Structure 1
Amino acid sequence: MRLAQRLGRATTSPVDGDRGAFVADSRDDMVSIARRLHQKILDRLDLAKLSQMPVEQLRGRLRATVEQLVAAEGLAMAESERLALADQIVDELVGHGPLEPLLNDPTVSDVLVNGHDRVYVERNGKLELTDVRFRDERHLIHTIQRMVARVGRRIDESSPMVDARLPDGSRVNAIIPPLALDGASLSIRRFGNKQLTGPDLVRAGAMSETMLRYLHAAVRSRCSILVAGGTGAGKTTLLNLLSGYIAKDERIITIEDAAELRLAQPHVVRLESRPPNLEGKGEVTIRDLVKNALRMRPDRIVVGEVRGGEVLDMLQAMNTGHEGSMATIHANSATDAMNRLMTMLGMTGSALTEQTMATMIARAVHVVVHLSRMQDGARRITEIAEVVGLAGTEVQLNTVFRYERSGFHSDGRMIGRHVQVADTTLHDRFRAAGLANGQTSGEIRR
């Protein structure tokens, strides 16, 4: 099936008419024109050679060709219609079809496709239904296949689920029938070009200045930190920030399923897991990479997310000379994060007793930071707790900071504040690292 035949009949403008939509009664004509022009473009241009061009240069060349063809055929089209038609064809040829405008919108953090006719975006923590549509299910599936093929992945009926990372760093998950019962589903998590700083997060209300100074001291004093929270809570953003506080003379190994961390230090080795190939071979797991990282003389290991057997190797690393390592975990609270570590350790197939597992966690992890995405869409740290020991097989925590909610503004924004509810137990550690001067230690005491 030719690419032009998959062109959707919806407007090319996804939200609020960004590109000048075709009028409803001319939509079929526009689709027919797009198909005819698409074939002429294929006949006129060597797309294999053009594909070597920088993307923006290629887009300009294709737009110019569409304009020439429209003029040559004497088509009576308004300038806005010509531009919209050109962009539609260009997006199908070299972009991501109807999703291209959304992926170029800096205000969009997530794109969520539920079947060919329902496309949502997230802006400022809130989901919105857009007017973007694919022509049909085949159009959507082909767009997904083209998207993941560009980064060396595949998706079809024999392999109907895929995780991938786009060249711009966006994280993609797609699942198609027969696993997706109501049509193909596509989730794209985008990451802004600007890396947020500590002051940025303070201004956004994600934490207080005192909490930022505390976390800075925890990283510099080589506390091992676990960042916990739900999906979309901001775990990777915070992990990026904390990793940036590691000294420049330390060797850092980052390990992720899809590389998202962007560290500025000069001595960083980035590792990424790999799924099995078409024959089911060649898989490299997070656990494989953690084990290998221990042979690479790391000062610290940063794992994008622990969710399986790698937790055992990660905790052993933290307990054997790699203090200051960090990881994220899906959990509903700091206490839940400890319980999840216990559960994952129990699933590794090792012969560890509950007491041994609890002792391993208590000795390895120093600080747990929990984040939440609030009802108003804001992402905030809701708790910072320190691991202070054991009570039997239960890991004991000392909550130092907490977010206290008190209501909502009339516009739906949450009312609350970050408060320090206990003294830190890490003063000696901060002092030993040369951080417990009047500025640091005084500001994290109540």
Structure 2
Amino acid sequence: MKKLAKQLLADAVFDVDKSERERVRTGNQGTVHLNSIEEKKDNTYFQLKEKIHRNLIGQLDLKNLDLKGLADTQKMESVRELARNIIQDLLSKEETTLSRDARAQFVEELLDEVLGLGCLEEYLKDPEVTEIMVNGPDTVYVEKKGKIHLSGVRFTSATQLMTVIDRIVAPIGRRVDESSPLVDARLMDGSRVNVVIPPISLVGPSITIRKFAKKKLTIDDLIGFGALKKPMGEFLKICVRLRKNTIISGGTGSGKTTLLNVVSSFIPSDERIVTIEDSAELKLPQDHVVRLESRPASIEGTGEISIRRLVINALRMRPDRIVVGECRAGETLDMLQAMNTGHDGSLTTVHANTPRDAISRITTMVIMAGTELPEKAIREQIASAVQIIVQLSRLSDGSRKVIDISEVTGI
């Protein structure tokens, strides 16, 4: 266990490379002078960080940490508090002129590097940031209020960025390496993560984080944001209560999962619900909910559990409702069959720009399942299975709105 503790922390070593040394101004090598945020890029600041970081490894190693529990929020907080006390003690023994604010910031930065996600932590805590995009170690973009901005942070090296990626995927049993350079994951708060590493990504390791809202949104919140009008919300609530099969359609980042979360909350609490997702994001308020998550193949190429297999299995679990995070392939056929065989009121999302495009895309995805049904038969099945299509769109000003609610009366 001591070896694991040392490995976890050693992987977060601070690299002060030549480019970084050239980029920052030269400072006094004996004493750190940091009384403002602008001065924190001084080489001596990084050297002090590296020194305390190495001492921290030894101190925590002696504590014989139980790293298996670090995915647990309570355990992580206790380890973080332990590390904070050690850092403060080590810092007090150094000859520095750090102000109180600078000292507190120094401690938090070091904690984020050693136990968290490094420079991304400040944006994960910022409620205005909805998406974080890392394009290699030197470039980090963030989305605020629907607009993308270049942040002022960077990773010290690709090695440090890969360490952060490992911390994201390891707690949920996922892996990423050259043989498997693409992975979908989630953070402890439910935020969705996509990772791409070289040789697939030519700019270096890439991370895209779609943040999960701290506060669970309600239909009233969406109405307040202007995402939809109150009569629309009332109509969707009635559709769910009357067990109408509903598909939420929209482009990437249009708010499909958010609306699915809200609409699913209208399902009566006395019904058994099974949710199926690639990366678990749905958090329904009902008690009787079974959450299923797909699993990629292992390093040997075995053990994959696909969305389609989960949909088929869900039919044996006596569900009143089936909620699929997104239909994107052959599972669409099984979802339609479920809707047509007594599982009324089921919900899912698809990528499409209009309700008519949604029907065409569903038809294509059913064909992808390998069925030899003629297109006319597929469309007839869609018409009998799907009653409501809700269309979302992301507008040019960055806002996300429900622009259409359609009833499927025939094809």
Match for 2:308: what amino acid?
Answer: R
* Counterpart residue number, 1:35: 50
Among 360, 369, 383, which residue is 2:404 paired with? 383
* Unmatched runs of 5 consecutive residues or more in structure 2: 1-9, 25-34
Is the 2:14–2:156 contact (alpha carbons within 8 Å) kept by the matching residues of 1?
no
* Counterpart residue number, 2:110: 89
Equivalent residue runs for 1:212-223 within 5 Å: 212-223=233-244
Match for 1:245: what amino acid?
Answer: F
Among 318, 334, 356, which residue is 1:297 paired with? 318
Is the 1:172–1:189 contact (alpha carbons within 8 Å) kept by the matching residues of 2?
yes
* Counterpart residue number, 1:422: none
Cα offsets for 1:258-290 (capped at 9, x unmatched): 111111112111111011111111000000000
* Unmatched runs of 5 consecutive residues or more in structure 1: 12-18, 391-446
Secondary structure of residue in 1 paired with 2:88:
helix
Answering whether residue 77 of structure 2 is matched by residue 44 of structure 1, we say no
* Counterpart residue number, 1:395: none
Secondary structure of residue in 1 paired with 2:13:
helix
* Counterpart residue number, 2:216: 195
Equivalent residue runs for 1:358-377 within 5 Å: 358-377=379-398
Is the 2:237–2:263 contact (alpha carbons within 8 Å) kept by the matching residues of 1?
yes
Among 12, 27, 30, which residue is 1:3 paired with? 12
Structure with the bigger percentage of strand: 1
* Counterpart residue number, 1:111: 132
- 1:389, distance to aligned residue in structure 2 (A): 0.8
- 1:48, distance to aligned residue in structure 2 (A): 4.4
Secondary structure of residue in 1 paired with 2:102:
helix
- 1:209, distance to aligned residue in structure 2 (A): 1.1
- 1:87, distance to aligned residue in structure 2 (A): 1.6
Match for 2:300: what amino acid?
Answer: E
* Counterpart residue number, 1:176: 197
Secondary structure of residue in 2 paired with 1:80:
helix
The verdict on how the C-alpha distance between 1:69 and 1:242 changes in structure 2, with shifts beyond 3 A counting, is same
* Counterpart residue number, 1:430: none
* Counterpart residue number, 2:155: 134
Inter-partner Cα distance in structure 2 for 1:246 and 1:81: 50
- Identical counterparts, % of pairs: 47
Secondary structure of residue in 1 paired with 2:55:
helix
Equivalent residue runs for 1:317-336 within 5 Å: 317-336=338-357
The verdict on how the C-alpha distance between 1:20 and 1:389 changes in structure 2, with shifts beyond 3 A counting, is farther
Cα offsets for 1:79-123 (capped at 9, x unmatched): 233222212221111101111111111221111111111111111
Inter-partner Cα distance in structure 1 for 2:179 and 2:16: 26
The verdict on how the C-alpha distance between 1:306 and 1:146 changes in structure 2, with shifts beyond 3 A counting, is same
Secondary structure of residue in 1 paired with 2:391:
strand
The verdict on how the C-alpha distance between 1:2 and 1:263 changes in structure 2, with shifts beyond 3 A counting, is closer
Inter-partner Cα distance in structure 2 for 1:91 and 1:268: 34
* Counterpart residue number, 2:327: 306
Is the 2:390–2:406 contact (alpha carbons within 8 Å) kept by the matching residues of 1?
yes
Secondary structure of residue in 2 paired with 1:45:
helix
Secondary structure of residue in 1 paired with 2:377:
helix
Is the 1:22–1:81 contact (alpha carbons within 8 Å) kept by the matching residues of 2?
no
Is the 1:164–1:258 contact (alpha carbons within 8 Å) kept by the matching residues of 2?
yes
* Counterpart residue number, 2:285: 264
Question: After TM superposition, which residue ranges in structure 1, 4 or more long, deviate above 6 angstroms?
Answer: none
Inter-partner Cα distance in structure 1 for 2:298 and 2:119: 29
Match for 1:128: what amino acid?
Answer: H
The verdict on how the C-alpha distance between 1:194 and 1:3 changes in structure 2, with shifts beyond 3 A counting, is closer
TM-score between both structures, scaled by the size of structure 1: 0.82
Match for 1:166: what amino acid?
Answer: L
- 1:2, distance to aligned residue in structure 2 (A): 5.1
Inter-partner Cα distance in structure 2 for 1:94 and 1:201: 35
Secondary structure of residue in 1 paired with 2:129:
coil
Inter-partner Cα distance in structure 1 for 2:16 and 2:173: 24
RMSD: 1.9
- 1:20, distance to aligned residue in structure 2 (A): 5.7
- 1:4, distance to aligned residue in structure 2 (A): 2.3
